[in-house]
Structure 1
Amino acid sequence: MIGMLDEKPPIRIAALADQCVQCGLCLPVCPTYALDRNEAESPRGRIAIAAALARGQASATPALREHMDHCLGCLNCEKVCPANVQYGELLVETRAMLGPSPTRPERELALIRQPARWRRLRRIAGWTGFTRWKPLLQSLLPSNSPMRTALAIWPRQPLPNTQPSPLTNPTAGETIALFPGCIASVEDAEAQQAAITLLRAAGYRVTELPAFCCGAMDLHGGDADRAEQATQQVRATWKKAGADHLVSITPGCIGTLRRALPDVDVIDPVTLLAIRVDRLSFRPLQERIAVHLPCTQSNVARSDASLLKLLQRIPGLDAKTLPRPPHCCGAAGTHMLEFPERAARLRNETLRQAATLAPQRLLSSNIGCRLHLAAGMDDAGRSWPHQHPLVLLARQLET
């Protein structure tokens, strides 16, 4: 594989595509194929498109590249592929070859990338009572407008008022560097603090890195130059950290961080917590919860079993994962902004499956998924509280 990485992009794309044996086992687990029943909207179809583009056998017409842009990057296909096709790598390389979509919502993405700016706007929105007149503003925008979707996922809750962990940071032991990310550093600040609390309780030393975008949105959106800038920032920040592990509470960041730091142990904190679960004790909670497992948690971080192991340590808690299919909620990074109607169809099915569990609470580890699902709950009149699983674990922690 090392030799393949040194090749020019079209050659590398063609080589990656040639690994596919066209068996079709990926089709039943592909969310976009389930939506359209169109071969071009399947992994097998997209591999064929990527190969044709790389070999100059097809032109990147708007209709053709739309099939590539529709891909959610969930990697369910990689998980079931008997030939071990590196579909995620092929998708990233093909999108980089094509470049960003002309319809990419750059204005909205610029806001998400800048956590300080996002935080300021959230505070201003709180002062002005923005959530009261947000529906009116939404109604004035076209149904497929990225701004309308951005308004739909705008949180109803005020900014969390987080407090530093009361636990003393251990003076010895493995050191964990926590990567806050961009929007997650604001909207999931409570979960960041929960991770620190839990990791310290398990005996790890924890430091927190500066908040900035890891580049995942640009990497998967074909903006190779901007993604490379983020990669360099990640590497420079990690070099100063002096830690044993790098963690992110947002599974959507983990794959990109691993790509930037191939020799570093980049991991979901729940995996580290599960290793030392015997050091943690939790108060009982008699509640039924639905656990949404983001695609990146199941297929990239591979931490879903560790999360469920931790939740099972809470006495009385009835934690049930959402039935599959569906295989993706439709958020998929920027997908919900670029293709809101398709994303809403996937979300509706996810929420329908959640409703079969009759939950009192919904948990999801990925901030994009949770905001997307929350917007759907608002539309459907559902009132389930929703939060990051680490927040629930930290609240029930015996100290």
Structure 2
Amino acid sequence: MSMPLEKSPTRAPVGRIAELADQCVQCGLCLPVCPTYALDRNEAESPRGRIAIAAALARGQVDPTAGLREHLDHCLGCLNCEKACPANVQYGELLIETRALLGPGPQSPRQLLNLIKRPVLMRALHHIGGWMALPRWKGWLARRLPADSPWRAALLVIPIEAPAARARASDKNHGQPCVALFPGCVASIDDAEAQQAAITLLQVAGFQISLLPAFCCGAMDLHGGATESAERAAQHVRRAWAECGATQLVSVTPGCLGTLRRALPGVSVVDPVELLATHADALVFRPLAQRITLHLPCTQINVARSDHALLQLLRRVPDLDVLPLPRPPYCCGAAGSHLLEFPERAAQLRDATLRQVATLDPQQLLSSNIGCRLHLAAGIDAQGLHWPTRHPLTLLAQQLIHAH
């Protein structure tokens, strides 16, 4: 339904959107690194085109019709364009402000997203699903749902393995610098093993660890235009941080880092691999004679900017052949809730990524973002491939020789 911008019930700062849009010089250097432009070859599916749409919406020159907003909703928020931009356009901020102006899209599976954001409920459902042997027949059930159904996409990314036990931190290294680990929502269940690995590695490196409660940071709401829910999540983050007494905050999920930094301005919020890389001399690893492909999530490269630190750590494992995935492709298509909202588009981007993985013929595929890894694993399963998928920290902890 078309709605004049002046009557929008949201209270986003339209002047700020126009100001951000005016930074763009329309040079087009963002086009070659944009995954959706590569997919459609449509100017409206490029950063330059979306900036023009956002500016026109903010100035009241066009109404937010379904067709216009679809181009904005298709954006993955990968921020490859920001890295390529010579004018330093704050595209990520522009996208957040514009989506806040429009509110959640009509394709947003709100009930499903509300479920995913509740770790206690999700863990209970995992246990019920395990009791019912859901991983064995999830494909049969998914095939009976429409190809564009978010519930179908959600079924397909359910891990085959049962979730690991919750991560736990001990009182080791009391009196040393205290680092708080943010578990998140989905990651607190499906990446608990990686979180425990991060705790082990950080403790061996000399850090004291405080584990925050598991809850959603608000990233999906923030990037989906649900501003009130995103702000409630940010307040939850601020309360948890104020109570933990740590000096730094880490998350094993790069997709959470930008939202955590937004909620906690002035706080050091980093990928744990950055801290580990600066204390790498304390970490000694057993040899592992394997060839692994490293998928670097967009958020790890463009938000966390910890890709070099991760490669530095992995290359400390003797005999390990580390092959970073070439770019392009620039995004696997997971992109938070994008794989649920636009599953067919997400699958196209994922399959392009897996074709590149196949050229490297790995024995394992590593990726540090839980959404990316579940999405890639679903594609691996659908194609009958045999690449185990893991978080890089899990491999590092597995090969760690504990100091005495």
Normalised by the length of structure 2, the TM-score is: 0.95
- Structure 2: how far apart are the matches of 1:322 and 1:389? 14
**Aligned counterpart in structure 2 of residue 320 of structure 1, from 323, 334, 337:** 323
Q: Take 1:201 and 1:344, find their aligned partners in 2: how far apart are those partners? A: 39
- The Cα shift of 1:289 comes to 0.2
Q: Distance in 1 between matches of 2:112 and 2:286?
A: 41
Distance in 2 separating the partners of 1:129 and 1:339 = 27
Q: Which residue of 2 aligns with 1:4?
A: none
**Paired AA for residue 131 in structure 1:** P
Shift of 1:363: 0.3
Per-residue CA deviations over 1:141-170 (Å, capped at 9, x if unaligned) read 1110000000010111112246757x8611
**Which of 355, 359, 362 is residue 359 of structure 1 equivalent to?**
362
- Structure 2 matches for 1:22-61, cutoff 5 A? 22-61=26-65
Deviations 1:349-371 (A, max 9, x none): 00000111100000000000000
**1:147 aligned to which of 151, 165, 180:** 151
Q: Distance in 2 between matches of 1:39 and 1:164?
A: 48
SS of the residue aligned with 2:89?
coil
Question: Following the alignment from structure 1 to structure 2, what is the Cα–Cα distance between the partners of residues 385 and 133?
Answer: 20
Q: Hey, what's the Cα distance between the residues in 2 that align with 1:161 and 1:239?
A: 26
Tell me how far 1:130 sits from its aligned partner: 1.1
Shift of 1:234: 0.5
1:182 aligns with 2:185: yes
Q: For the aligned residues, what is the CA RMSD?
A: 1.2
**In structure 2, distance between residues paired with 1:98 and 1:330:** 23
Amino acid at match of 2:272: P
Of residues 268, 285, 305, the one that matches 1:282 is: 285
Partners of 2:123 and 2:21 lie apart in 1 by 42
Letter in 2 for 1:135: G
Bigger mean CA deviation after superposition, 98-107 or 331-340: 98-107
CA contact (8 A) 2:159 2:374 kept: yes
Structure 2: gaps (5+ residues): 1-10
| Per-residue deviation, residues 46-67 of structure 1 (Å, max 9, x unmatched) | 0000000000001100000000
Gap regions ≥5 residues in structure 1: 1-6
- Secondary structure of the residue aligned to 1:356 is helix
Q: CA deviation at 1:132?
A: 2.1
* Partner residue of 2:345 out of 339, 342, 345: 342
Kept in 2: contact 1:312–1:319 (CA 8 A): yes
Match of 2:80 among 76, 79, 88: 76
Partner of residue 103, structure 1: 107
Residue 293 of structure 1 deviates from its aligned partner by: 0.3
**Cα distance in structure 2, aligned partners of 1:164 and 1:334:** 28
- For residue 350 of structure 2, what is the amino acid of its counterpart? R
> 1:133-172, aligned counterparts within 5 Å?
133-161=137-165, 164=168, 169-172=172-175
- Report the 3-state secondary structure (helix = DSSP H, G, I; strand = E; otherwise coil) of the residue aligned with 1:25: coil
CA contact (8 A) 2:12 2:101 kept: no
Q: State the match for 2:6 in structure 1.
A: none
Q: How far apart are 1:135 and its partner, in Å?
A: 1.9
Shift of residue 107, structure 1, vs aligned partner:
1.6
Contact 1:168-1:200 at 8 Å conserved across structures: no
Matched, 1:272 2:275: yes
Matches within 5 A, 1:175-214: 175-214=178-217
> What secondary structure sits across from 1:52 in the alignment?
helix
Report the residue type matching 1:71 in the other structure: C
In structure 2, the CA distance between the partners of 1:16 and 1:163, relative to structure 1 (3 Å rule), is: closer
Q: How does 1:219-234 map to 2 (within 5 A)?
A: 219-234=222-237
Q: Is 1:391 equivalent to 2:394 in the alignment?
A: yes
Contact 1:131 1:156 in 2 (8 A): yes
Secondary structure of 2:285's match?
Answer: coil
What is the aligned partner in structure 2 of residue 92 from structure 1?
Answer: 96
Aligned to 1:173: 176
Output the CA distance in 2 between the equivalents of 1:163 and 1:286: 28
User: Paired residue for 1:129, among 116, 133, 141?
Assistant: 133
Q: Which residue, out of 243, 246, 251, partners 2:249? A: 246
Provide Cα deviations, 1:85-125, integer angstroms capped at 9, x if missing partner: 00000000000000001221012111110001110011111
Q: Determine the structure 1 residue equivalent to 2:8.
A: none
Q: Cα offset for 1:172? A: 2.4
Q: Which amino acid aligns with 1:339?
A: F
Give the TM-score normalised by structure 1.
Answer: 0.97
Instruction: Answer yes or no: is the 8 Å Cα contact 1:360–1:384 preserved in 2.
Output: yes
Pairing partner for 1:300 from 294, 300, 303:
303
**Contact persistence 2:247–2:268 (CA under 8 A):** yes
How much has 1:173 moved relative to structure 2? 2.2
Aligned-partner Cα distance in 2 for 1:143–1:110:
22
* In structure 1, distance between residues paired with 2:360 and 2:139: 29
